[in-house]
Amino acid sequence: MPNHNLFVALRAAFPADLDSIAIETDHGLVYSWRDLDRASAMVANLLQSLDVPKDATGAPPRVAVQVEKSVEAMVLYLAALRAGFAFLPLNTAYQSAEIEYFIGNAQPAVVVCTGKNFGWVSQIAFKAGTRHVFTLNDDRTGSLLERAAHHGDVQQPVTRRADDLAAIVYTSGTTGRSKGAMLSHGNLLSNAVMLKDYWGWTATGGPEGRGDVLIHALPIFHVHGLFVAIHGALLNGSKMLWHGKFDPKKVIADLPRATVFMGVPTLYVRMLAEARLNKAQAAHMRLFISGSAPLLIETFSEWRARTGHTILERYGMSETIMLTSNPYRADDRYRNQSERRGGTVGFPLPGVGVRVRDDGGLPVPAGDIGNIQVRGENVFSGYWRMPEKTAEEFTADGWFKTGDVGRQDAQGYVTIVGRSKDLIISGGYNVYPAEIESVLNDMPGVAESAIVGVPHPDFGEVGVAVVIAKPGARLDADGLLSALKARLANFKIPKRCFITPELPRNTMGKVQKNLLREQYKGLFDAP
């Protein structure tokens, strides 16, 4: 049986010269391709040596990981692929209540956390039945690497079918708890192979004559930084300039040594605020890609004026990886269009089906607004152990309902105009009002709350809380925000909180969030 393990394809793309540089970090560390191969083999051997109980359903063992960004964290991802474990990345901002839910739901055989969180994370993990909890810090210390050091640096990747589970990525929900999107080796590989071609990754030219060089400055616990960026570079045998944390000055300083950059819109906004960003600095860059949140046309235009480059905007989701993209070069499927059109997310990518339907499920004429539905080899198989939720999110004929609202014009360009799901995208992170409202509503003295998204110059959009007190209760807005901080990841905390006597409602008694959004929309405007 052919081995569809994603790692096999990534490894096959490593350059012939394994001693050439694969990664340079902003801390001055250098990793060769051989280093990545050997280190991931050692960690894979460690994972395979563990006594892991068989899952009654036949699902592969899971390794849940909440660690700071580091090359070793990426090596752990590669090791999980090699060993046939499903990788479960977790945002470092998640607090204990959130982690408890993910671990309880996914039942990982192995949990990896930072040394400083070991106390509370291990308690949660052991209680949930996980037997192995390791630590991994961003300075190459921790028990994971100590234990892996006792294992061999050669490993045969476990044979996987294309539809075998490779990763579970949790996405919050408009109702109820987070859902784990199950991505297979085939989902990930097919999308990566297609993007390598569509975005014109090249193994020649570039600043060192060895082809593309990627500046990696995104977190690696979400689809954008973990899959789109890392797979792109590895599958092309491209060097990465690895930034542990996004710093606009450091990225701009690295531009002359790189060719490709991927970011969420906030990263572009922050770089535009730097005087050093100019055409000369960006002269050797081949491609700037933006996604995960809407890129304002002002940012798109200002970037072109300042750098001479036109940002390529694309659209994707955790459940589907990449769906649409503006063209890199002329796309003959779309009448040879080569224009990257600001405000649009471009064309459906090769192999991806995109259709726009009305609320009754019927097609809408070209250019009309409707619900975006998708299908393709890239689309996930369902939510981890939630068959009913999975069934709700797919149409009877097998298309995934993205929850995004948009249109496709006669030339094929897709534009996202809104969302049918109640979701705020803040700095590229998804924030679900329902989740925050339910935590707020449980707090003493709170009768009801509503969270709405309003425009923000840095994060694009941020949450604002509007809260009603119970009769006789006195609420303190700052106190509520501090209490939320103890329960939820920091990026989910509303930036402002207002206590009001009532919320606007329609005749059905439903809170009219559109009126609240209108009321607070100027809150973060420049004075």
186 contact choice in ligand AMP, ligand MLC, none (CB below 5 to 8 Å, kind-dependent): none
Q: Which 375-414 positions form the footprint of ligand AMP (CB under 6 A)?
A: 402-404
Burial 417-440, CB ≥16 within 10 A → b, else e:
eebebbbbbbbbbbbbbebbbebb
Q: What residues from 301 to 330 belong to the interface with ligand MLC (CB under 6 A)?
A: 316-318
Nearer to ligand MLC (CB atom), residue 351 or residue 504: 351
Cα 332 from chain centre: 30
- C-beta separation of 203 from 236 below 8 A: yes
The DSSP call for residue 238 is -
Please choose, from the candidates 348, 409, 205, the residue with its C-alpha nearest in 3D space to the C-alpha of residue 287.
Answer: 205
Structure tokens at 271: 């770089």
Residue 313 contacts ligand AMP per CB under 6 A = yes
Q: Which does 168 bind (CB under 5 to 8 A by kind): ligand MLC, ligand AMP, none?
A: none
Minimum distance from CB of 293 to ligand AMP (Å)?
Answer: 5
Using N-to-C axis directions, what is the helix angle for 265-272 and 297-307, rounded to 10°? 50
- Distance in angstroms (rounded) separating the CA atoms of residues 82 and 6: 8
- Binding status of residue 459 toward ligand MLC by CB under 6 A: yes
Measured distance CA(235)–CA(224) in Å, rounded:
15
Q: How far is the CB of 429 from ligand MLC (least distance, A)?
A: 4
**Residue with smaller CB distance to ligand AMP, 71 or 317:** 317
Closest to 316 measured CA to CA, from 226, 389, 388: 226
Residue nearest to ligand MLC (CB): 427
CB of 65 to ligand MLC, least distance (A): 16
Nearer to ligand MLC, 206 or 219 (CB): 219
Does residue 246 bind ligand MLC (CB under 6 A)?
yes
Among 345, 352, 450, 503, which residue sits at the site for ligand AMP (rule: CB under 6 A)? 345
Q: Which is nearer to ligand AMP, 230 or 416 (CB)?
A: 416
Q: Judge residue 217's burial from the number of C-beta atoms within 10 Å of its C-beta, 0-12 exposed, 13-18 middle, 19 or more buried.
A: buried
Q: What is the DSSP letter of 19?
A: T
C-alpha 399/C-alpha 320 separation (Å) is 11
Residues that bind ligand MLC (CB under 6 A): 218-219, 222-225, 245-246, 264, 266, 291-292, 316-318, 426-429, 459, 462, 490-491
Residues lying near ligand AMP in the complex (CB under 6 A) are found at 171, 223, 291-294, 313, 315-318, 345, 402-404, 416, 419, 425, 430
